[in-house]
Amino acid sequence: MNTLLLSGDFKEMLPNDYVGFTFFVGCMAMMAASAFFFLSMNSFDRKWKTSILVSGLITFIAAVHYYYMRDYWAGSVEVYGLEGGKSPTFFRYVDWILTVPLMCVEFYLILKIAGATKKLMWTLIGASVVMLVTGYFGEAVYQDNAALWGFISGAAYFYIVYLIMFGEAKELATKAGGSVLSAHNMLVKFVLIGWAIYPLGYMIGTADGQWYSFMGDIGIDMNVVYNIGDAINKIGFGLVVYSLAVASTSKDAA
């Protein structure tokens, strides 16, 4: 199996492989978003270039991983058939461990103007790493205790929500006001609503033997849920930062 998937041969998708199709679309969407963010960097003041660069890096890293995840999925379907497709869990968590902390960095970058400290940035990054590592344990290592690891991961997630909705990050955004506050509030909505998509995928994929076993009867592959969540959140985060940069640059020009 590993020889097949790591051989470097591009795997063909079956015409009725809707899961593989979402990997393909996700890869193309992330790559297009990366090109957009990178090419627009010179349109903004220096203080916004880092934020736009980070947005482009988030989607570029995701695009590369989606290319490999699509190939991994198609290769497993080639061996086991459509019903036996294997989820590229390891590749997905490698992607998340790189991109989710960068999404937390975006909060620091837009709030830096209001006095955000690196301590806040590292607190958000630390919580996101705990959220992801415990999620991986539940999904790939200790599947019999997926509910417990999911609970720990969820606790870290809600800590992030607390910091950006009611804690120091919210105070700084309120202090800055204007377009910074608007952008912060929009990013908060992505974390509160967009990131909430991922627990659904987690529960669908780890439902066997857990209290939420009914989630396994939904009939949707967890990869589809994850892929939709990634497209919404990673591209959406970047577009919010881009909009803030446009608004700020236009205001300064006026």
Residue 43: its pLDDT value, please? Answer: 86
Residue 85: its pLDDT value, please? Answer: 78
Residue 189: its pLDDT value, please? Answer: 93
> How many domains in the chain?
1
How many angstroms separate the CA atoms of 180 and 111, rounded? 7
Angle between the N-to-C axes of helices 197-205 and 146-165, in degrees from 0 to 180, rounded to the nearest 10:
180
Residue 3: its pLDDT value, please? Answer: 41
* AA identity, residue 155: A
2 in a structural domain: no
Residue 190: its pLDDT value, please? Answer: 93
Residue 254: its pLDDT value, please? Answer: 52
Burial 15-50 (b: 16+ CB within 10 A, else e): eebebbbbbbebbebbbebbebbbebbeebeeebee
How many angstroms separate the CA atoms of 158 and 195, rounded? 11
- pTM of the predicted model, to two decimals? 0.91
Q: How far is CA 134 from CA 122, 153, 163, in A?
A: 18, 5, 20
- Three-state DSSP class for 107? helix
Residue 5: its pLDDT value, please? Answer: 46
Q: Does the CA dihedral 153-104-86-84 come out positive or negative?
A: positive
Contact indicator for 73, 92 with CB cutoff of 8 Å? no
How many angstroms separate the CA atoms of 37 and 53, rounded? 7
CATH number for the domain harbouring residue 21: 1.20.1070.10
3 in a structural domain: no
In sequence order, what are the residues at sequence separation of 6 or more whose Cβ sits closer than 8 angstroms to the Cβ of residue 124? 101, 104, 105, 107, 108, 160, 163, 164, 169
How many angstroms separate the CA atoms of 210 and 173, rounded? 40
Contact indicator for 65, 92 with CB cutoff of 8 Å? yes
Task: Residue 169: give the domain boundaries.
Answer: 14-253
5 in a structural domain: no
Angle at 28 between CA 18 and CA 107, to 5 degrees: 110
- pLDDT (tens, 9 = 90+) of the chain, 254 residues, equals 344 444 455 567 777 889 999 999 999 999 999 999 999 998 887 778 999 999 999 999 999 999 999 999 988 888 777 777 789 999 999 999 999 999 999 999 999 988 999 999 999 999 999 999 999 999 999 999 999 999 999 999 999 999 999 999 999 999 989 888 989 999 999 999 999 999 999 999 999 999 999 998 888 899 999 999 999 999 999 999 999 888 877 665 55
CA 228 to chain centre: 10
245 in a structural domain: yes
How many angstroms separate the CA atoms of 219 and 198, rounded? 16
7 in a structural domain: no
187 in a structural domain: yes
How many angstroms separate the CA atoms of 19 and 164, rounded? 33
